Amino acid sequence: MTPRSLRYAPHVAVFAVGYVTFTYSAVPGYVAARYGATITTVGLLMSAALLSFVLAQAVADRLASRWTTTQVLVGLVVAHAVLAVALDFAPSLASLLVLRALWGLAGGLLLSIGATHVARLHEGRAATRQQGVYGGMLTLGGAFGFLLAEPVVSLTGGFGVHALGAPLALPALAMLWPHRHGTRTAGTAASGGFRAVLANRVVLVAALCYVATIGAYITLSTFITSYFDDLGVTGPLNAVVLVTATAGRAVGGVVSARWGVSDARVVSLTTLVGALAFLGLLVDARLVALAGPLVAMIAVSLPFGAVYNLAAAATAQETAALAFVVAAGNVAAVVLPTLTGVVRARTGGYAAVFCVLAGLLVAASLAARQTR
């Protein structure tokens, strides 16, 4: 039987990744004041990490084929911890951008290799459930960062905004270390690599579904505060949204496993609900405007585990499949917030973006139906 420490270590590690990914976004004023940056420039810090998330996926399959996922995760957790601390010592904005990009390589690989680790230790609906919890831990780390960032800045003057990601990851290292010589989670190099994955229809559908859901999630996470500001509502809304996403991702995997709903059906139904939620936001009604974003966030979070498991189960090259899905989603995560900002600046609203997101989710829903 697989030790619990080995099964749950990726969940702990990805929590720390979520913290470092999002936490600085909670204190843009601090970053701007320390480095003399504009708020727009601060946005480049997120782009630097997310672009590295994409680039890192090119070597994920090779790493997971040469070593066990446990061994790869040990190295990635160490790299994450070292770079998280280094980020808070960056002397200039340029060096901070470089370090965020380097950290993004470790963080992006940790995300996909961790998902591969989960896929190799679990099968069927158990894998869907665990992938959902895994994704939930990523967003929970982000929520933790939003809640903790301001107190950290007040207490230390800024150290810990990134560096706290190091001690948060140490329990994962302790859980993985005793198993670093094992072969339990080893993979074998499969022929074809990414070319074979690109020829797999189910993996392509999973990538489309991830583009739609992660694009909607990132867009809502980025603009939810300004959206509610327009409605006269204030508060720690970024944290609320990420906690909502955490619950949605975890519950989605549990529902699939407990009720025997197929991954494809979960994805098809939830993305359709998400599309309807975004279209509902076009209705000029305050109750809809207030509740709609949270309904949409839950809907696009529920299929996280199902999408990952759909990709991993479709081919023997599960690492390449998951890496491709993660890369496609993070491209959307870079592009859609930028597009949203442009639309908001030119039109004064989000209607056009909501239509785009609804269209992507409808396409994902229809595509998922074809894999059932």
- 115-166 pLDDT, tens digit per residue, is 999 999 998 888 999 999 999 999 999 999 989 988 999 999 999 999 999 9
| Number of separate helices (H) and strands (E) present in the chain | 16, 0
Q: What is the pLDDT of residue 227?
A: 87
Which H or E run includes 60?
A: helix 60-66
Q: What is the mean pLDDT of the chain?
A: 90
Higher pLDDT, 14 or 44: 14
Q: What is the pLDDT of residue 77?
A: 98
**Is the distance from CB of 302 to CB of 252 less than 8 angstroms?**
yes
Tell me the C-alpha distance between 229 and 258, whole Å.
39
Show Cβ contacts of residue 201 under 8 Å, excluding neighbours closer than 6 positions: 370, 371
Tell me the C-alpha distance between 252 and 135, whole Å.
10
Residue 208 pLDDT exceeds 50: yes
- Residues of the chain with pLDDT > 90: what percent? 63
**Is the distance from CB of 210 to CB of 331 less than 8 angstroms?**
no
Residue found by looking up tokens 């329990």 in the block = 171
Residue 303 pLDDT exceeds 60: yes
Residue 286 pLDDT exceeds 70: yes
Higher pLDDT, 24 or 329: 329
Q: What is the pLDDT of residue 228?
A: 87
Q: What is the pLDDT of residue 189?
A: 47
**Is the distance from CB of 357 to CB of 278 less than 8 angstroms?**
yes
Total length of the chain: 372
Long-range contact set of residues 99-102: C-beta below 8 Å, sequence gap at least 24? 100/45, 100/48, 100/49, 100/52, 101/48, 101/49, 101/51, 101/52, 102/52
Residue 307 pLDDT exceeds 90: yes
> Any idea which of 100-114, 280-294, 348-362 has the lowest mean pLDDT?
280-294
Q: Give, in order, the Cα–Cα distances in Å from 228 to each of 71, 235, 337.
A: 44, 9, 16
Tell me the C-alpha distance between 250 and 194, whole Å.
29
What's the mean pLDDT in 89-101?
94
Tell me the C-alpha distance between 113 and 89, whole Å.
28
Residue 82 pLDDT exceeds 80: yes
pLDDT tens digit sequence for 342-367:
898 899 889 999 999 999 999 999 99
Q: What is the pLDDT of residue 356?
A: 96
Q: What is the pLDDT of residue 32?
A: 82
Residue 9 pLDDT exceeds 90: yes
In 355-364, which positions are buried (b, 16+ CB within 10 angstroms) versus exposed (e)? ebbbebbbbb
Q: What is the pLDDT of residue 154?
A: 94
10 Å CB burial of residue 344 (0-12, 13-18, 19+) is middle
Q: What is the pLDDT of residue 257?
A: 66
Q: First and final CA of the chain: distance in angstroms?
A: 32
Residue found by looking up tokens 């998280």 in the block = 84
Range ranked top by mean pLDDT from 241-245, 286-290, 323-327: 323-327
What's the mean pLDDT in 278-305?
92
Q: What is the pLDDT of residue 166?
A: 97
Residue 188 pLDDT exceeds 60: no
Residue 185 pLDDT exceeds 60: no
Band of the pLDDT at 221, cuts 50, 70, 90? confident
